[in-house]
Structure 1
């Protein structure tokens, strides 16, 4: 039985080798068709490579500053809390690590960036209008009256946008996230984040990367320091109020003395207004001293929380250029066309 099985296996392998040789001879016989297909495919690949516009890559690196720790403010914060003052310094978990990257990719931040104004060619325009120009969208909008006249003007009110404008911004957002924008952490062990923009315009790539980080930084700082800013405003208002009351008390003492410069010692009632003003002065002085201390602590706390984003590397002109190489187009096009020709020849032989 084993010898019979070996003979069958040997015959099967021999048949397979013979079959492969037969197919190889068949392809060699029809090499001219494969070569013609390869030349045509290479030509198509060359045309495709020439038609592709170069891409300009802008890379911006920044580090996120950890503002969660109070550092040397611990003692001050405890002192302030004793008198009911909250110095802020809320945690930034919502903006840490991967959360910050996803936040930077959010539609709100992308739209704010697109609607930002840049200066160039002696005129101001939004990044949204520049994106329309570099992608030549207006040619495809010529037959649509709703889109033909759409403009995103500088300092325009986002709340008054039309349905068409909202739709266009939504499309731009999806295109940018899919084709133009990459945001990654350079290393999981370090907090440096890279923003990479690849577009057909050197101006757009650089401006979009810088503006996106700027908008995120502004929103981030505003959110992180909102509580501290509110507390600072309250402390400043209270300090100013007490200072005005103290000045008024000093004026009251002076007025009382002027009205009765030589008081009759036998009539104590005449000294009451002056004594009341003295009590007000002492009380307001104590309150003002405490408020000024808390106000300075709040200012230090606010300074420690900002800035939160530190730029490490800005994109510098000229930017790195990427192109679909001609040689790559010829080789890739020729290979694909030759492979298709082989498949067609094989299928024709099988069906015959």
Structure 2
């Protein structure tokens, strides 16, 4: 009998690396009993995590965020021919070989340039129409003009966030037409605060690796402010880009215009002297008088040639300005209404779930520790 019992016992035993269903059920029952005995611990974890989530919800910014974006393409304006265009395109895709391109208008340089401090500052100090429903209405025809930075301060929420305890900044307004170099300490501080905030709310990125389209995007708490800001920023980029690209040609144009006007003045004076001389000496016989008349005539002809050449040079430089000007093509303009993202409070609900999970984990670890100590 002992031999038979020992055989049956050996058959019922499982290998060490396997667990029988009966043992699994026993462990689940033990864990359930342990969980019921430790319900106060689980409840405490749930309450603590729920309280933390409640305070997180109190500090959560519940204002909706309106996202405005504008997709555009930058082309033209290359004075170096087709290879310059191909080189800029390859640099945009990161395919250029050798040292990085020093041109600020290609590749990653352009992306940094768009959100740089000079561009954003220039955009903030531009006048905008604050009442028109049309985003493309010329500011010159508007009776309700204000600086972009004043419009941003009033509608962005910075007065209630960063400047909540500073009454001086809350009631501060910038004066149109003032040079940033002449700003007071208070104006500089206000500009710095606005710049640091709006730069974090603005981004530019390549739409796709296989295209040259760029997307300028911003997310603000006021719908019209977001739509106006991306338009004003892109307009400023286009103006500054054109000025820098055409800087040398512009300087040459100013020089040639000054030369043309100077030649016109000298030519007019020489022609006037020649006319007076001819009127006073109609029956000229003396060789010295004929020599003076020939000299004035020769000067007039020479000055005319120089003047015509200067006029032609001015016309050519004006055509070059048009040819070299970059072409900003808006592929996808800003369209109202903008995409609205609501920020609903959910931290308390998440805290309840996390508290329950944390309590179960603590009970499980406690039961495991007790079973190890008993064995």
TM-score class, shorter-chain normalisation, is: 0.7 to 0.9
Instruction: Report how far residue 205 of structure 1 moved.
Output: 0.1
The alpha-carbon distance between structure 1 residues 145 and 137, as it changes in their structure 2 partners (threshold 3 A), is closer
Aligned counterparts, 1:157-236, within 5 A: 157-178=179-200, 180-236=201-257
Aligned residue runs from structure 1 range 229-244, under 5 A: 229-244=250-265
User: 1:306 deviation in Å?
Assistant: 2.2
Which residue does 2:4 correspond to in 1?
none
- Using the TM superposition, give the Cα deviation of residue 45 of structure 1 relative to its aligned residue in structure 2, in angstroms: 11
Q: Please identify, of 208-217 and 108-117, the stretch whose mean Cα deviation from structure 2 is larger.
A: 108-117
CA contact (8 A) 1:249 1:277 kept: yes
Checking the alignment, whether the CA contact within 8 Å between 2:50 and 2:355 is kept in structure 1 is no
* 1:202–1:343 Cα change, 3 Å: same
Whether 1:300 aligns to 2:319 is yes
- Structure 1 gaps, min length 5: 1-5, 73-90
Cα distance in 2 for partners of 1:36, 1:166 equals 49
Instruction: Determine which of 149, 153, 156 is the counterpart of 1:132.
Output: 153
**Aligned counterpart in structure 1 of residue 349 of structure 2, from 331, 334, 350:** 334
Q: CA deviation at 1:47?
A: 6.8
Describe the shift of the 1:45–1:15 C-alpha distance in structure 2 as closer, same or farther (beyond 3 A): farther
1:127-161 superposed Cα distances (whole Å, 9 cap, x missing partner): 33333333152476454465454333433442343
Deviation string 1:160-196 (CA, Å, 9 cap, x unpaired) is: 4343443343333333333x21211112343221111
Q: Does 1:344 pair with 2:359?
A: yes
Count of residue correspondences = 321
Residue matched to 1:61: 71
Q: Distance in 2 between matches of 1:27 and 1:131?
A: 55
| TM-score, structure 2 as length reference | 0.70
Relative to structure 1, is the Cα distance of residues 138 and 125 closer, same or farther in structure 2, using a 3 angstrom cutoff?
A: farther
Answer 1 or 2: which has greater helix percent.
1
- C-alpha distance in structure 2 between counterparts of 1:36 and 1:11, whole Å: 33
Cα deviation, residue 225, structure 1? 1.0
When the two chains are superposed, the root-mean-square deviation of aligned CA atoms in Å is: 4.1
TM-score by length of 1: 0.74
Aligned to 2:308: 289
Task: Give the SS at the match of 2:226.
Answer: helix
| Aligned residues of 2:62 and 2:342 also touching (Cα < 8 A) | yes
Where do residues 33-52 of structure 1 align in structure 2 (5 Å cutoff)?
33=43, 52=62
